[in-house]
């Protein structure tokens, strides 16, 4: 007798090719309307699912997991970040959690580099000026920005994405500096000609551009606090394609508005989708709707990782992307 297929509940719409394969492999319930599930809907899902496939915007906390049925043994998250899942509560209930690391590295690094270029060169300001019909033609002193060649880039978090950003930035003539929980291998430092700073405070005070590429964890919440933001020089820029919670957004907004920082490029926000209205008013910022990893290729690669994690787990093996307690 064929083995009963596990019930897999997917919380958001995924690429068609991934949803089709899920329907073939498992007893799958899809989110056709692509509306975020409410807390009540997530509770109903964990009451019946064998496998839950949430995304990084679904809060799978201890309260929701307290309603999980005994057969829920896998949370196969569609995304790299894991701060939306209460991993301790999942472990207590014997639930394995997986994510999709690695596949978003190049896309996110591309977007980070785009912001590193866009903010100092005032690209969105220029685009808005052109579309408004107010552009009067070229002038020697009009829309002056700053070159990035020869500037110091401080990377917070030298993991896969941080290293990929460093590789791109070095090609643009930036001097690479970084702060990380652990110093990277000497070979990588040599390849990138990167300078390691054990003290984040000391690095911040000396950089022209800061790129945030670390995950959001309890240890990194408001890592760039009001105090640390004050260490930055007035001519410096901040770029964040990681998680909004790493930066004190209110403090950052005040400093931008007061001219204490030259500008920022943000793809993520502390309370997204809400964005500080005062931040939206500033001209020297580039704000994007969390699209750093938004490529067709990247989303399909993520979905394929989810499929592999589920299939491996269902077949009785340890999934390749199991989240370990000390991974983040």
State yes or no: pLDDT of 128 exceeds 90.
Answer: yes
Q: What is the pLDDT of residue 326?
A: 60
pLDDT bin (cut points 50, 70, 90) of residue 174 is very high
Say if CB 80 and CB 62 are below 8 A apart: no
* Alpha helix ranges (H) inside the chain: 16-25, 39-48, 62-65, 87-92, 105-118, 123-132, 160-171, 186-192, 200-204, 226-229, 249-257, 277-280, 296-314
Q: Smallest Cα–Cα separation from 258: which of 250, 266, 269? A: 250
Question: Both tokens of residue 8?
Answer: 């897999």
Q: What is the pLDDT of residue 81?
A: 85
**Burial status of residue 96 (CB atoms within 10 A of its CB: 0-12, 13-18, 19 or more):** middle
Which pLDDT tens digit goes with each residue over 261-299?
999 999 999 999 999 999 999 999 999 999 999 999 999
All domains in the chain, ordered by first residue:
7-103+296-314 (3.40.50.720), 105-287 (3.40.50.720)
- 133 sits in the region (left: phi over 0; alpha: psi -120 to 50; else beta) called left
CA atoms of 325 and 87, how far apart (whole Å):
8
Contacts of 16 (CB under 8 A, 6+ apart): none
DSSP 3-state assignment of 69?
coil
**Burial status of residue 271 (CB atoms within 10 A of its CB: 0-12, 13-18, 19 or more):** exposed
Which pLDDT tens digit goes with each residue over 101-121?
999 999 999 999 999 999 999
Say if CB 38 and CB 62 are below 8 A apart: no
Active site residues: 243, 272, 290
Say if CB 211 and CB 116 are below 8 A apart: yes
Q: What is the pLDDT of residue 190?
A: 97
State yes or no: pLDDT of 91 exceeds 90.
Answer: yes
Q: Smallest Cα–Cα separation from 103: which of 288, 296, 269, 267? A: 296
DSSP 3-state assignment of 215?
coil
For the whole model, what pTM was predicted?
0.89
State yes or no: pLDDT of 1 exceeds 80.
Answer: no
State yes or no: pLDDT of 231 exceeds 90.
Answer: yes
């Amino acid at each position: 007798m064929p083995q009963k297929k596990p019930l897999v509940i997917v919380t958001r719409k995924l690429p068609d090719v991934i949803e089709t394969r899920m329907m073939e492999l498992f007893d799958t319930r899809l989110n056709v309307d692509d509306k975020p599930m409410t807390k009540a809907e997530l509770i109903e899902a964990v009451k019946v699912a064998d496998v839950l496939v949430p995304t990084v915007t679904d809060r799978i906390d201890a309260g929701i997991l307290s309603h999980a049925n005994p057969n829920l043994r896998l949370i196969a998250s569609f995304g790299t970040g894991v701060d939306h899942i209460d991993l301790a509560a999942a472990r207590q209930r014997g639930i394995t959690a997986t994510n999709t690391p690695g596949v978003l590295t190049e896309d996110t690094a591309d977007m980070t580099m785009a912001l590193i270029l866009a903010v100092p060169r005032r690209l969105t300001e220029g685009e808005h000026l052109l579309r408004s019909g107010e552009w009067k033609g070229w002038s020697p002193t009009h829309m002056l920005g700053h070159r990035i060649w020869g500037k110091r880039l401080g990377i917070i978090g030298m993991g896969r994405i941080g290293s990929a950003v460093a590789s791109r930035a070095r090609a643009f003539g930036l001097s690479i500096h970084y702060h990380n929980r652990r110093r990277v291998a000497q070979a990588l430092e040599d390849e990138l000609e990167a300078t390691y700073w054990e003290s984040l405070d000391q690095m911040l005070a000396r950089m022209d551009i800061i790129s945030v590429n670390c995950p959001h964890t309890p240890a990194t919440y408001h890592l760039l606090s009001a105090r640390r933001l004050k260490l930055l020089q007035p001519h410096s820029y901040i770029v964040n394609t990681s998680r909004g919670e790493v930066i004190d957004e209110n403090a950052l907004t005040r400093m931008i508005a007061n001219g204490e920082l030259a500008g920022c490029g943000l793809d993520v926000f502390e309370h997204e989708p809400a964005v500080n209205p005062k931040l939206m008013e500033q001209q020297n910022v580039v704000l994007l709707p969390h699209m750093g990893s938004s490529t067709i290729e990247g989303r399909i690669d993520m979905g394929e990782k989810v499929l592999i994690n589920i299939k491996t787990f269902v077949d009785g093996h340890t999934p390749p992307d199991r989240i370990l307690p000390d991974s983040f």
